[in-house]
Amino acid sequence: MPKVGMEPVRRKALVDAALRVIGDQGTLSVTMSEIARQAGVSAALAHHYFGSKEQLLIETIRSLLRQLRDDTVTALRAAASAQEKLSAVIRVSFQASQFAPDTIAAWLAFYSEAQRSEEVRRLLVVYARRLRSNLLASLKALCPDDDAERIAEGAAAMIDGLYIRQSLRSAPIGIEASIALTEDYVTSHIDRLKFQGTAA
Amino acid sequence: MPKVGMEPVRRKALVDAALRVIGDQGTLSVTMSEIARQAGVSAALAHHYFGSKEQLLIETIRSLLRQLRDDTVTALRAAASAQEKLSAVIRVSFQASQFAPDTIAAWLAFYSEAQRSEEVRRLLVVYARRLRSNLLASLKALCPDDDAERIAEGAAAMIDGLYIRQSLRSAPIGIEASIALTEDYVTSHIDRLKFQGTAA
DNA sequence: TTTTATTGATTGATGAGTCAATCAAAAATA
DNA sequence: TATTTTTGATTGACTCATCAATCAATAAAA
């Protein structure tokens, strides 16, 4: 079977398998063998292409982040007004693929790993910044800058918090309810500023 | 040195050491040897008293939860009005001991472990329920029940989210700012209900 | 024939859990 | 009180399993 040009195919298969296995087991303490098995190759091949487990894991996170970024960009393009963009950013965070139990479990495992691996931490900081800045951009069109900062901070925290609560799978808040809760937070604050603005 | 009655002393020392080591390394993949070393005893003794690593970890989580509950009870006792109680619950979540990097890292590790261990998951569900119900009790005195439910849900999510964001140690939001953000969320929503109420 | 893809077998390290042995306090007995 | 027995506390050494990483060998293109 050895055809030439297998490298990108195998890399993708391994990264996808890694995400599956990590999500399934809810930990980064998964074996290279298991990942390789799921990808349909030997563990030795995984090492051949990635050099180390650490490297494979990092590529896996990168892949997850890339996916999220692409979805966000697409959603933002389709949105016209600031309100729509805001809604789009929130919506993407809770879209089915991101909010699936396995994906959440994987995110959680990555956050935990960030305590040890500087590179993983850096990647997650990129995610946090991106979320905050996407929210901020739209918010600044709707309220004063410093209020926008605070609201963006709060909304980002709420999104992450809904994730972590979802991971416990008790009193499961649905996708729509999560979106509603977050949008409610944002609009409620913007509204209040209007009232205060007219009152003052 | 073998005196009698060492068991409770050693158990506590081991549980405390476990929390320290887990917080420090940010993972449950810590060795019994290391925990024992920190507690000043041999790994064999840790096994003697706890039977297994899993069991020691569970006792450690229990200890953390107990601490949090006690602090909450104390804070609630000192609060008179519903507003004060609400504020107290929020404040306890962010009090220095809970919000310290090591403690947050430990929490994160436990959440991750909950994906695998049913017992760990159960314990964290207890925490989530308790937080929600503490918030709910005070909120119900301040607004209609179904609004209270939503606000409690949102506030709990925001608290957890601020934790997770804190764990990345980038753009570190301080304790006071976190409290302010959460209280702001709650009061803003209650206020809005009042406006709507008078307007309708 | 040279290069790329691929794997089985092996190695070396690590870590949980077990066990038999030791040591000293406490309790019982003389 | 002095001596023996019992029991709790404690550990070093060991076993057994797991796993990341390496390597030599093979097979099929180019």
pLDDT per residue as tens, chain B (200 positions)? 456 788 999 999 999 999 999 999 999 999 999 999 999 999 999 999 999 999 999 999 999 999 999 999 999 999 999 999 999 999 999 997 888 999 999 999 999 999 999 999 999 999 999 999 999 999 999 999 999 999 999 999 999 999 999 998 887 789 999 999 999 999 999 988 877 765 54
As given in the structure block, the two tokens for residue B193 are 């209900």
- Which of chain C's bases lie under 7 Å from a protein CB? 4-9, 14-20, 23-26
Alpha-carbon span A57 to A75, nearest angstrom: 27
pLDDT value for B200: 43
Whether A194 has its CB under 8 Å from any CB of chain B: the answer is no
As given in the structure block, the two tokens for residue B143 are 């607004």
Q: Which residues contact B13 (CB under 8 A, 6 or more apart)?
A: B39, B40, B41
For D9, which residue's CA is nearest its C1'?
Answer: B2
Q: Which amino acid is at B23?
A: G
Q: pLDDT per residue over A15-40, tens digit each?
A: 999 999 999 999 999 999 999 999 99
As given in the structure block, the two tokens for residue A38 are 């799921």
CB contact under 8 A, B129 and A191: no
pLDDT band per the 50, 70, 90 thresholds, residue A74:
very high
Q: Which residues contact A198 (CB under 8 A, 6 or more apart)?
A: none
Q: Which amino acid is at B50?
A: F
Backbone angles phi, psi at A85, to 5 degrees: -65, -45
pLDDT band per the 50, 70, 90 thresholds, residue A1:
very low
Alpha-carbon span A19 to A104, nearest angstrom: 11
Q: Which nucleotide is nearest to A47 (CA to C1')?
A: D21
Q: Which nucleotide is nearest to B41 (CA to C1')?
A: D10
Residues B161 and B65 sit within 8 Å (Cβ to Cβ)? no
Whether B192 has its CB under 8 Å from any CB of chain A: the answer is yes
For C22, which residue's CA is nearest its C1'?
Answer: B2
Q: Which nucleotide is nearest to A10 (CA to C1')?
A: C5
**Which residues in chain A have their CB less than 8 angstroms from residue B129's CB?**
170-171
Higher confidence at residue B63 or residue A171? B63
Q: Which amino acid is at B162?
A: L
| Listed residue (B165, B31, B24) closest to B106, CA to CA | B24
pLDDT value for A198: 59
Mean pLDDT of A1-26: 90
pLDDT value for A197: 60
Residue B172's Cβ-count burial label (10 Å; 0-12, 13-18, 19+) is: exposed
Chain B residue closest to A178 (CA)?
Answer: B154
For C3, which residue's CA is nearest its C1'?
Answer: A4
Q: Which amino acid is at B145?
A: D
Q: Which amino acid is at A160?
A: D
pLDDT value for B40: 96
Alpha-carbon span A183 to A91, nearest angstrom: 9
Average pLDDT of chain A is 93
A vs B, Cβ pairs < 8 A, gives 138
Backbone angles phi, psi at B16, to 5 degrees: -60, -45
DSSP string, chain B: ---S--HHHHHHHHHHHHHHHHHHHTSS---HHHHHHHHTS-HHHHHHHHSSHHHHHHHHHHHHHHHHHHHHHHHHHH--SHHHHHHHHHHHHHSHHHHSHHHHHHHHHHHHHTTT-HHHHHHHHHHHHHHHHHHHHHHTTTS-HHHHHHHHHHHHHHHHHHHHHHHTTSSPPPHHHHHHHHHHHHHHHHHHHHHHHHH-
Whether A195 has its CB under 8 Å from any CB of chain B: the answer is yes
Backbone angles phi, psi at B4, to 5 degrees: -90, 155
* Sign of the four-CA dihedral B45, B46, B51, B52: negative
CA distances from A13 to A25, A59, A162, B21, B169 (A): 18, 12, 30, 36, 33
Residues B162 and A161 sit within 8 Å (Cβ to Cβ)? yes
Which of A165, A190, A193 should one mutate to test binding to chain B, selecting the residue with the greatest count of B CBs within 10 A? A165
- With a cut of 70, say whether residue A2 has pLDDT above it: no
Exposed e or buried b per residue across B53-86, where buried means at least 16 C-beta atoms within 10 angstroms of its C-beta: beebbbbbbebbbeebeebbeebbeebeeebebb
Please report, rounded to a whole number, the percentage of residues in chain A having pLDDT higher than 90.
86
Whether B59 has its CB under 8 Å from any CB of chain A: the answer is no
**Which residues in chain B have their CB less than 8 angstroms from residue A26's CB?**
112, 114-116
Measure CB to CB from residue A185 to each of B125, B154, B164 and give the nearest one.
B154
Higher confidence at residue B48 or residue A195? B48
pLDDT value for A182: 97
Measure CB to CB from residue B116 to each of A27, A132, A168 and give the nearest one.
A27
pLDDT value for B160: 95
pLDDT value for A192: 86
**Which residues in chain A have their CB less than 8 angstroms from residue B169's CB?**
121
- With a cut of 80, say whether residue A196 has pLDDT above it: no
Exposed e or buried b per residue across A43-54, where buried means at least 16 C-beta atoms within 10 angstroms of its C-beta: bebbeebbeebe
A43 touches strand D (CB under 7 A): yes
pLDDT band per the 50, 70, 90 thresholds, residue A195:
confident
Q: Could you say which residues from 65 to 124 on chain B have a Cβ atom under 8 Å away from some Cβ of chain A?
A: 105, 108-109, 111-116, 121, 124
- With a cut of 50, say whether residue A200 has pLDDT above it: no
pTM of the model: 0.92
